[in-house]
């Protein structure tokens, strides 16, 4: 690992929440989706997982699949219980092959679990009635929990921010600057949007490597409304931690540019946050973003084209 000592004139930031011991950290600090690259151990699996946060944070397709699998699994379990009691204790159930009787009990279980109760099949005897009663109770609780989770996922404030896949070193006012681009890809309205950039790099001091974090000042820290794309610009001047870094130095130095964004969602009337990061391998030296918005054919509105979010041209730097 090649380390360049060009940051000593700038005071490091100690408020990141990450330790300063480089030997105790591995990989990037934040994934591209903004989640911290931290794995917790020393706890049991049940202690380590917040079920509520886990269910709200998982992708929608996984959430729907999990709900379906739980629904299917519970009904299979009760079907096996009815099967153990015997089909003779289910009045109206069709007799026949093993598969036929299993399906009869399975569909009776689904009707009981959902409290539909078509009436063709009914429990006979105290034991079967008790099992059906307990299953109906489990069904009521299960659907109440599933409904609450659906509503919580639907109503949870999200930033809906999409970042450019690369950060660029671009010409800027006779010099150069580091830039990345972001935009809101949903029809939500985010106002009072603030951005903060930090540079994480490993430095050697007296033969010991440690993590250092440096604030990267931006030309604009806050905008009133995120209506179009926002190209965040960090001038690389004498006040920048990247000052005097050549293209080779940037490519060879392990570093991470951490992005922190927050704004106010007017519909939810709540603050939303977003994070991402860029490593040195995700920085393109000598490039400039293409403009991703333009007027429509009638010049009556502005078109924001997300297919151009990552588009850039290679340019010469001064």
**Calpha distance 222→106 (Å, rounded):** 58
Residue of 131, 169, 177 whose CA lies nearest to 280: 169
Q: How far is CA 6 from CA 176, 236, 238, 253, in A?
A: 17, 13, 11, 12
Q: Is the pLDDT of residue 81 over 70?
A: yes
pLDDT tens-digit profile of 92-142? Answer: 888 889 999 999 999 999 999 998 888 888 999 999 999 999 999 999 999
Question: Are residues 167 and 310 located together in one domain of the fold?
Answer: yes
Q: 146 in a domain, yes or no?
A: yes
Looking only at the bridges linking them, the beta strands covering 283-285 and 167-172 are parallel
Question: Are residues 283 and 208 located together in one domain of the fold?
Answer: yes
93: DSSP letter: P
Question: Are residues 166 and 304 located together in one domain of the fold?
Answer: yes
Angle at 70 between CA 69 and CA 72, to 5 degrees: 65
Region of poorest pLDDT, from 28-37, 105-114, 169-178: 28-37
pLDDT tens-digit profile of 257-287? Answer: 999 999 999 988 899 999 999 999 999 999 9
Question: Are residues 84 and 125 located together in one domain of the fold?
Answer: yes
Q: Are 282 and 138 in contact (CB under 8 A)?
A: no
Helix ranges restricted to H, 117-177: 126-155
Lookup: tokens for 145? 């929990």
Question: Are residues 191 and 120 located together in one domain of the fold?
Answer: no
pLDDT at 33: 84
Question: Are residues 242 and 254 located together in one domain of the fold?
Answer: yes
pLDDT tens-digit profile of 202-219? Answer: 776 676 777 888 999 999
Q: How far is CA 289 from CA 60, 220, 305, 308, 317, in A?
A: 32, 17, 13, 9, 14
pLDDT at 35: 85
Q: Is the pLDDT of residue 29 over 90?
A: no
Lookup: tokens for 159? 């930033």
Question: Are residues 202 and 106 located together in one domain of the fold?
Answer: no
Question: Are residues 256 and 199 located together in one domain of the fold?
Answer: yes
Lookup: tokens for 301? 């509105």
Note down the domain range covering 178. 158-314
Which three-class secondary structure state does DSSP give residue 284? strand
Q: 305 in a domain, yes or no?
A: yes
Q: 38 in a domain, yes or no?
A: no
**Calpha distance 177→169 (Å, rounded):** 6
260: DSSP letter: E
Say which CATH number the domain at 264 has. Answer: 2.60.40.1400
**Calpha distance 298→200 (Å, rounded):** 47
49: DSSP letter: -
Residue after which a domain boundary falls, among 155, 184, 202: 155
Q: Are 184 and 309 in contact (CB under 8 A)?
A: no
3-state secondary structure 192-259: EEEEEEEEEEEEEECCEEEEEEEEECCCCCEEEECCCCEEEEEECCCCCCCCCCCHHHHHHCCEEEEE
Question: Are residues 115 and 245 located together in one domain of the fold?
Answer: no
Q: 118 in a domain, yes or no?
A: yes
Question: Are residues 149 and 76 located together in one domain of the fold?
Answer: yes
pTM of the model: 0.79
Q: Is the pLDDT of residue 4 over 50?
A: no
Q: Are 139 and 114 in contact (CB under 8 A)?
A: yes
The tally of domains found in the chain comes to 2
Question: Are residues 253 and 175 located together in one domain of the fold?
Answer: yes
Question: Are residues 121 and 196 located together in one domain of the fold?
Answer: no
Say which CATH number the domain at 89 has. Answer: 1.10.287.70
Residue after which a domain boundary falls, among 120, 138, 155: 155
Residue after which a domain boundary falls, among 155, 176, 192: 155
Region of poorest pLDDT, from 10-14, 232-236, 300-304: 10-14
């Amino acid at each position: 690992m090649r380390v360049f000592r060009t940051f000593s004139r700038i005071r490091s930031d100690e408020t990141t929440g990450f330790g300063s011991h480089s030997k105790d950290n591995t990989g990037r600090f934040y994934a591209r989706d903004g989640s911290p690259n931290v794995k917790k151990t020393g706890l049991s699996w049940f202690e380590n997982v917040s079920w509520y946060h886990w269910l709200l944070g998982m992708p929608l397709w996984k959430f729907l699949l999990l709900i379906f699998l739980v629904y299917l699994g519970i009904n299979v379990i009760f079907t096996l219980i009815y099967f153990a009691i015997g089909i003779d204790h289910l009045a109206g159930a069709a007799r026949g092959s093993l598969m036929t009787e299993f399906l009869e009990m399975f569909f009776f279980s689904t009707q009981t679990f959902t409290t539909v109760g078509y009436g063709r099949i009914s429990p006979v005897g105290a034991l079967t009635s008790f099992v059906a009663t307990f299953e109906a109770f489990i069904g009521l609780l299960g659907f109440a929990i599933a409904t609450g989770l659906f509503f919580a996922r639907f109503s949870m404030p999200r930033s809906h921010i999409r970042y450019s896949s690369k950060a660029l070193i671009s010409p800027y006012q006779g010099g150069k600057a580091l830039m990345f681009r972001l935009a809101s890809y949903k029809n939500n309205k985010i106002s009072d949007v603030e951005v903060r950039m930090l540079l994480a790099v490993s430095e050697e001091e007296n033969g010991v490597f440690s993590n250092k974090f440096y604030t990267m000042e931006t030309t604009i820290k806050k905008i009133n409304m995120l209506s179009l794309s926002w190209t965040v610009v960090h001038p690389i001047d004498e006040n920048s931690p990247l000052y005097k870094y050549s293209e080779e130095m940037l490519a060879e130095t392990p570093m991470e540019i951490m992005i922190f964004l927050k704004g106010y969602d007017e519909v939810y009337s709540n603050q939303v946050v977003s994070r991402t990061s860029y490593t040195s391998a995700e920085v393109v030296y000598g490039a400039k973003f293409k403009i991703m918005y333009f007027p429509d054919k009638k010049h009556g509105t502005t078109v924001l084209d997300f297919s151009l979010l990552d588009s850039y041209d290679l340019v010469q730097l001064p």
